[in-house]
Amino acid sequence: QHNDLKRYLADVQQRQLAAHEACADALLRSHMNMANVAEQNLQEWCAVQSIQHRKYRNVSMPQPRGDGLVSPLSEPPLSDEGGLVLPELPPLDLDMDVLCFGDDGTEVSSSAESSALPKMLTENDMSFEGTRSMKIEDEASGSRARIRESYHLAQKRQSKNRSISSHCLHEFDNWADDLNRKPPRFQRLKRLFESLPFTLISASVIIINAAFTGYEADRAMRAALEKFDEHVASGVGGAVPLVNDDPEWHLVVNTIFTVCLSSELLLRIAVYEWSFWMGPERVRSG
């Protein structure tokens, strides 16, 4: 058994080692895959950027009008006055301001529209876009606020239009939940009612009342049967007259039990804050 245990432990160690190696290999492969994916994304981004730079770098100037062939000249052409004659070139269609000088040396600024170069967003355009997005967000938040306000107004109108009976029924349906949810205010009385002696006294009163009720019912049943037998034996027809011949101490005991149980019930209601239903606490609690 000792050898078997050793072999079993060795087998378990080998399995654990194999599992650890497999986990390490999987983790290493995942890291390598993540690195490869990141490198591939970087290469793609670099390729896109190089294409964009090459596109803007290879923007060529417009060719001169005509067949496009320019013959080399040994000497530049001269005009009749002796000045240089420049070849006619089409106007550059560039979206930029051109600064020129007049005959009197004053600066003359002119601008021309362009479609050759791509338009770039200026700071004014960016600020306009930001202001526009902020305006859209403000309009959305304002619409949500208006919806909430209209909903509250509709709720107020509905509550005002409800009749007194429906309001009372609604409050009566919710009074039990409010009774359980509201915190009690009479802490000392609450501790007294939740104490063990008061619980034992209440249980004793309930048990004695139940036993006395059973005794009183048995005695009343026996008295009724005896009266019925006497009535039948006497030969007088008709119903047996109902006569309350209970002793006076029964009435006293029943009154005591009724007062004790009613007082306990009313005090428990006061402990768990009955004032939220009938008194001014109802408005503040709601």
User: Quick check: 55 pLDDT over 50?
Assistant: yes
CB 34 within 8 Å of CB 92 = no
Top-confidence residue, 35 or 56: 35
d(CA 59, CA 95): 14
pLDDT on residue 58: 55
Per residue in 96-132, pLDDT (tens digit) is: 444 444 444 444 444 444 444 444 445 555 555 556 6
Region 215-238: mean pLDDT is 77
Show Cβ contacts of residue 223 under 8 Å, excluding neighbours closer than 6 positions.
245
Whole-number average pLDDT of the chain? 69
β-strand pairing of 107-112 with 96-101: antiparallel
d(CA 189, CA 34): 68
State whether residue 286 is helix, strand or coil.
coil
CB 38 within 8 Å of CB 31 = no
Per residue in 128-162, pLDDT (tens digit) is: 555 666 666 667 677 777 887 887 787 777 766 66
d(CA 114, CA 63): 16
State whether residue 169 is helix, strand or coil.
helix
What six digits make up the tokens of 57?
Answer: 């770098």
Handedness of CA 149, 152, 156, 161 (dihedral sign): positive
d(CA 195, CA 180): 19
Phi-psi domain of 68 (left: phi exceeds 0; alpha: psi -120 through 50; beta: other): left
Rg (CA), the chain: 52
Phi/psi of residue 31, each to 5°? -65, -40
Rounded to a whole number of angstroms, the distance between the first and last alpha carbons of the chain is: 76
